[in-house]
Amino acid sequence: MSRPDLLMTGPMMPLVQEGLAQRFTVHKLWEAADKEAMLNEVAPTVMAIATGNHSPTDAALMSRLPNLKIVGSFGVGYDAVDAAWAGQHGIVVTNTPDVLNEEVADTALGLLLSTVREFPQNDRYLRAGKWLQKPYPLTGTLRDRKVGILGLGRIGKAIARRLDAFGVPVVYHGRSEQKDVAYGYYPTLVGMARDVNVLLIVAPGGDATNKIVNAEVLAALGPDGVLINVGRGSVVDEQALIAALQAKTIKSAGLDVFEDEPRVPAELIAMDHIVLFPHVGSGSVHTRRAMAQLVVDNLVSFADGKGPLTPVPETPWPPKA
């Protein structure tokens, strides 16, 4: 059995590295002293890329690899891969959907509760010895909240199910109404923001969603409004969010994702009334292992001639004629 050449663009979990090494000759780009020289050397024969999205897999990179057939991307969001270009050039892109739905939904609920009930601040209060002086002040609640989900997809639905169990009403906005769900649909984001007091983002990044949560949407959310983002930082106009939080034209925010990760604006870090997570939505050992295995399974299945398991919509399999 031949061992096709695979380019790994950045460090990936041992499970990915070991799994792929059994089927491919793996070239680790980030370990090369001279990356350009390594790329030039392997470019003619590379058949697959494995990426953890540390760097873009864009047209500039893919067009250098004339035998590239597949890009296996770690994570369900693949905005770092130019999947449209890949699709136009007969290259299939895979991601890791579904195996992380429940984990990210758990995180979203944890972040929502942490923000509304101020749990991290409670913890800091106790550790600072302030409880000895007086009890922590009373907080807001989930009981009077209505959640508008931006992006009622695989993860959004897992979040909605949890909110159902919590007795919290849910509505949603996306590009189209889903006839098979019972939640109320809003054709415009600003219209939904006006009607809810929690806006929960779990939509993908990319050009179509870039900064769609802007100053107008935040103004519509209003002074009692809470913004939760477990989707992508690029979906929110971060400067408009900072301005709204500083002016208290929205109440609070819980953020797992940021525009320029891992750099988080000092203005956000300085605010004690918001909750910030370092992009840990899917970050349990269990779920990251499942994602890693799916990266390997996609690439190995393809190399074995059985096709990819989870191609993204821009690169359907088998390819359209």
Token reading at 233: 């930082």
Encode 42-65: b = buried (16+ Cβ within 10 Å), e = exposed. Answer: bbeebbbbbbbbeeebeeebbeeb
Binders in 217-236 for ligand NDP, by CB under 6 A: 230-232
Site string for ligand NDP, 2-41 (x = CB under 6 A): ----------------------------------------
**How far is 298 from 306, CA to CA, in rounded Å?**
9
Token reading at 61: 């990179």
Q: State yes or no: is 261 an active-site residue.
A: yes
**Piece of the chain touching ligand NDP by CB under 6 A; list 21-29, 64-72, 203-211, 304-312:** 203-211
Q: Are 309 and 30 in contact (CB under 8 A)?
A: no
Q: To the nearest 10°, the Cα dihedral for 207, 89, 299, 288?
A: 0
Indicate the DSSP class of residue 209.
Answer: G
Q: State yes or no: is 279 an active-site residue.
A: yes
Tell me the DSSP string of 89-124.
TT-EEE---STTHHHHHHHHHHHHHHHHHTHHHHHH
Binders in 77-106 for ligand NDP, by CB under 6 A: 77, 97, 100, 104
In the complex, minimum distance from the CB of residue 203 to ligand NDP, in angstroms, rounded to a whole number: 4
Which of 14, 33, 134, 176 is close enough to bind ligand NDP by CB under 6 A? 176
Site string for ligand NDP, 291-320 (x = CB under 6 A): ------------------------------
Positions in the binding site for ligand NDP (CB under 6 A): 76-77, 97, 100, 104, 151-156, 174-176, 202-205, 208-209, 230-232, 256-257, 279, 281-282
Just list the catalytic residues.
232, 261, 279
